[in-house]
A and B are shown apart, each in its own frame.
Chain A
Amino acid sequence: MVPLNYYLVLSGVLFSIGTAGVFLRRNLITVLLSVEIMLNAVNLTLSPPAATTAPWTARSSPSSS
């Protein structure tokens, strides 16, 4: 399988591209698109650790807090 680092590095690169777009572009719509790129980079950060850690189960004691 692909190591977890690859996904994190990819999302970091995507986030940097988004920040570069926010800094560089002067059009409001393109700035909003860059913000969307950053949001998706953060989404991509959240998913691989969920795939690596031990899976939660749907019916495992809801009052376990």
Chain B
Amino acid sequence: MDVVSFYIFAAIAVLSSIGVIGQRNPMHSVMLLIVSFGGLAGLYILLDAPFTAVTQIIIYAGAIMVLFLFVVMLLNAHTEDDSLPAGLGPHALRFGALLSALLAVEVVWGLSRVGVTGFNSDPGAASAISSVAAIGQTLFTQYSFAFEVTSILILVSMVGAVIIAGSRARGGR
């Protein structure tokens, strides 16, 4: 049962990811990427990590993909131009596709040689540590320093984005 649902979610994720890079319309690409994130959320639920699944749905499919949709709609980039970038022929694209196919073969071959056995954790402990209350308590007591440092990092990047956009709007000073 678990294996069947794993295959279903994995097929959803892989096929929609292939669709993302195969679509010519960026809008369709964004929609297919949301479907792919849904498949990944199903995989996280299979892994007894419901908090990760919910954050995957809320943050990725909810926030980041909405941001991408805004960018696509604001730029009016509904179709992709066929012009190749300067200095890149069709052989460069074929070479890139060959490189990524080689990466896929290498990763699958290497991981199939690593003899990792199955899960050995009991589901009770797994659900106990992945509950929202336990995660929040640990995050704000044991890992509070990392949490605050992450928030400062996000604040710095936000200020940087505002400064860059502001200087560009004022004439690139």
From known contacts A24-B96, A37-B33, A62-B141, infer whether A18 and B40 are also in contact, taking CB-CB under 8 Å: no
How many A residues have CB within 8 A of the partner chain?
48
From known contacts A9-B108, A30-B80, A37-B33, infer whether A21 and B21 are also in contact, taking CB-CB under 8 Å: yes
In chain B, positions 64-85 with a C-beta closer than 8 Å to chain A are: 64, 68, 71-72, 75, 77, 80-81, 83-85
Whether the pair A56, B30 counts as a contact (CB closer than 8 A) is no
Whether the pair B2, A1 counts as a contact (CB closer than 8 A) is yes
Chain B interface category by residue count? 35 or more
A39 to chain B, nearest CB (A): 9
CA distance A6 to B40 in the complex (A): 13
List the count of A-B residue pairs having beta carbons below 8 Å apart: 166
* Closest residue on chain B to residue A11 by CB atoms: B107
Q: Which listed residue (B6, B26, B56, B77) contacts A6, Cβ 8 A?
A: B6
12 intermolecular pairs with C-beta atoms under 8 Å apart:
A2-B6, A12-B107, A18-B21, A20-B101, A24-B97, A27-B26, A29-B26, A32-B68, A33-B26, A36-B60, A51-B126, A54-B121
A residues with a Cβ closer than 8 A to B are 1-10, 12-27, 29-30, 32-34, 36-37, 40, 43-44, 47-48, 50-58, 62
B residues with a Cβ closer than 8 A to A are 2-3, 6, 10, 13-14, 17-18, 20-21, 23, 26, 29-30, 33, 36-37, 40, 43-44, 46-49, 52, 56, 60, 64, 68, 71-72, 75, 77, 80-81, 83-85, 93, 96-97, 99-101, 103-104, 107-108, 111-112, 114, 116-121, 125-126, 128-129, 134, 137-138, 141-142
